[in-house]
Amino acid sequence: MDKFHSLKKNQDFQAVYRNGRSFANSCLVMYAKKRNDEEENRVGISVSKKVGNSVVRHRLKRLIREAYRINCGQAVRGYDLVVIAREKSKEKTYKEITGALLSLLRSHRLL
């Protein structure tokens, strides 16, 4: 089982928002920023209160985290990623979330 490296500090999120590139699809938005001399990707997941209550938000975070964890072996290393869930994502299944995440990784040329 791979260890999941996450973004935790607000300043890290802000740096990715300011200096990273973004791509979006119907249920997710992804920002990516290259880091120097790092061997692992760090991933931050953001789900707004507009999406739903805490149960819905936490479920989406778990789905996105697991979808990334399963597929991170294929991804290019050395990036900070921020994944933002849109309102449409709350009705999506795990397979649809995984497909959306992989699509965004391909858009960033990280797969």
Q: Give pLDDT tens digits for 65-83.
A: 999 999 988 888 899 999 9
Answer whether residue 1 is part of any domain. no
Q: How far is CA 16 from CA 5, 19, 35, 58, 70, in A?
A: 15, 5, 10, 22, 23
Answer whether residue 41 is part of any domain. yes
Answer whether residue 5 is part of any domain. no
Task: Work out how many domains the chain is built from and give that number.
Answer: 1
Answer whether residue 72 is part of any domain. yes
Q: Sheet containing 21-24: which strands, arranged edge to edge? A: 21-24, 28-34, 79-85, 42-47
- Which amino acid appears at position 8 of this protein? K
pTM of the model: 0.91
Q: Give pLDDT tens digits for 13-58.
A: 999 999 999 999 999 999 999 987 778 889 999 999 999 999 999 9
- CA-to-CA distance for 7 and 11, rounded, in angstroms? 9
Which range marks the domain in which residue 58 is found? Answer: 10-107
